[in-house]
């Protein structure tokens, strides 16, 4: 008979998932050593089975080279917040970020082929899936390189939000300014640096929506047009970095702060962990019941 204590011991020895450990013991007649071998042999199959499960938790991590000329931002997903907070998962995400920085892959598929300590990143992912017992996926990454300016990063909320900012200028405090801008991007979610970067079709679509809103409020055509102009200005102030109120001094906008420091923001990227992904619905009662059946 397979007991909970046997499952616990096998899990501690292999790091495999609870139910995988239970099955291994059942398949090997409760022989612990054979169960260890079974899990090792079935590692790839276990990983493949878990690959279809929703991975919408995880971490965002950044790596910046000394000199602030190159930096990487990555998002790696897992299934639960519990795993995301473990040291092992955090170390793995940093390994992925290092692989991006050192190898400059063009796509995620290229990144998965990168070799780290004799194994590809893809193989390392598979090993982690088998050991941790959850689906893990490298979702996306950004790699910034600059010759004239500097790159700074900011990670917020223990890896929930990550930002890279490229800035240029002659100010002695340019890194401090860039860090403030990265925090601004994390907090205020701009989509563009300046309004001239906003696609014309995006502006036109917003204009149409605002006009319909004004007309639905009972405003005549000529008044609606004036209202649209004002509301469009508000739209730009929300999505354009340099037009947002500066988080450290809301009495001025970001552009004024940059002008005061003679710094220019060239680009930024912002990742929020799990944005746009379907969240995993957990059933704690079912998980507890499953454990008790061991």
pLDDT interval class at 44 (50, 70, 90): very low
Alpha helices, DSSP H, located in 161-283: 174-188, 200-216, 221-239, 254-261
Contact 214, 160 (CB under 8 A): no
- The count of structural domains within the chain is 1
Confidence of residue 53 (pLDDT cuts 50, 70, 90): low
From first CA to last CA, the distance across the chain in angstroms is 9
Identify the DSSP state of 216. H
Spatial separation of the C-alpha atoms in residues 88 and 114, rounded to whole Å: 20
Domain annotation covers residue 42:
yes
Q: What is the pLDDT of residue 218?
A: 84
Query: Is-contact 121 114, C-beta < 8 A?
Result: yes
The CATH code of the domain that includes 20 is: 1.10.8.10
Asked whether residue 108 carries a pLDDT value surpassing 70, the answer given is yes
**Which of 114-123, 126-135, 198-207 shows the lowest per-residue confidence on average (mean pLDDT)?**
126-135
Q: Rounded to an integer, what distance in angstroms lies between the CA atom of residue 120 and that of residue 126? A: 10
**pTM of the prediction?**
0.75
Mean pLDDT of all residues belonging to the chain: 88
Judge whether 9 lies within some domain. Answer: yes
Asked, for residue 39, whether it belongs to a domain, the answer is yes
Burial zone of 147 (CB within 10 Å; 0-12 exposed, 13-18 middle, 19+ buried): exposed
Which residues form the domain of 25?
4-52+281-292
> Measured between alpha carbons, how far is 151 from 166 in angstroms, rounded to an integer?
4
Which residue is listed with tokens 């000199």?
67
Residue 36, class by beta-carbon neighbours within 10 Å (0-12 exposed, 13-18 middle, 19+ buried)? middle
pLDDT in tens, 167-210: 999 878 999 999 999 999 999 999 999 999 999 999 999 988 88
Would you place residue 49 in the very low, low, confident or very high pLDDT band (cuts 50, 70, 90)?
A: low
Helix (H) or strand (E) holding 82: helix 81-84
């Amino acid at each position: 008979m397979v007991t909970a204590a046997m499952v616990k011991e096998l899990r501690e020895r292999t790091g495999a998932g609870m139910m995988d450990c239970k099955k291994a013991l059942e398949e090997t007649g409760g022989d612990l050593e054979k169960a260890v071998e079974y899990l090792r042999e079935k590692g790839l199959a276990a990983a493949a089975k878990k690959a279809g499960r929703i991975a919408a938790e995880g971490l965002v991590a950044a790596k910046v080279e000394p000199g602030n000329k190159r930096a990487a931002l990555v998002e790696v997903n897992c299934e639960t917040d519990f795993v995301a907070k473990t040291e092992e998962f955090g170390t793995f995400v940093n390994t992925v970020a290092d692989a991006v920085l050192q190898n400059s892959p063009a796509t995620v598929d290229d990144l998965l082929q990168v070799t780290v300590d004799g194994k590809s990143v893809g193989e390392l992912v598979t090993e982690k899936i088998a050991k941790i017992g959850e689906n893990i996926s490298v979702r996306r990454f950004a790699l910034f390189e600059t010759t004239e300016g500097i790159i700074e990063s900011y990670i917020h909320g223990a890896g929930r939000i990550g930002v890279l900012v490229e800035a240029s200028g002659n100010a002695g405090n340019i890194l401090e300014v860039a860090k403030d801008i990265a925090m601004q991007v994390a907090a205020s979610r701009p989509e563009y640096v300046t309004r001239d970067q906003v696609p014309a079709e995006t502006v036109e679509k917003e204009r149409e929506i605002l006009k319909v809103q004004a007309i639905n409020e009972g405003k005549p055509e000529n008044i609606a047009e004036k209202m649209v102009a004002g509301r469009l200005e508000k739209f730009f102030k929300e999505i354009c970095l340099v037009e947002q109120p500066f988080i450290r001094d809301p009495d001025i906008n970001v552009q004024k702060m940059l002008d005061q420091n003679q710094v220019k923001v060239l680009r930024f990227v912002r990742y929020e962990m799990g944005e746009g992904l379907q969240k995993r619905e957990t059933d704690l009662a079912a998980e507890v019941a499953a454990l008790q059946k061991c």
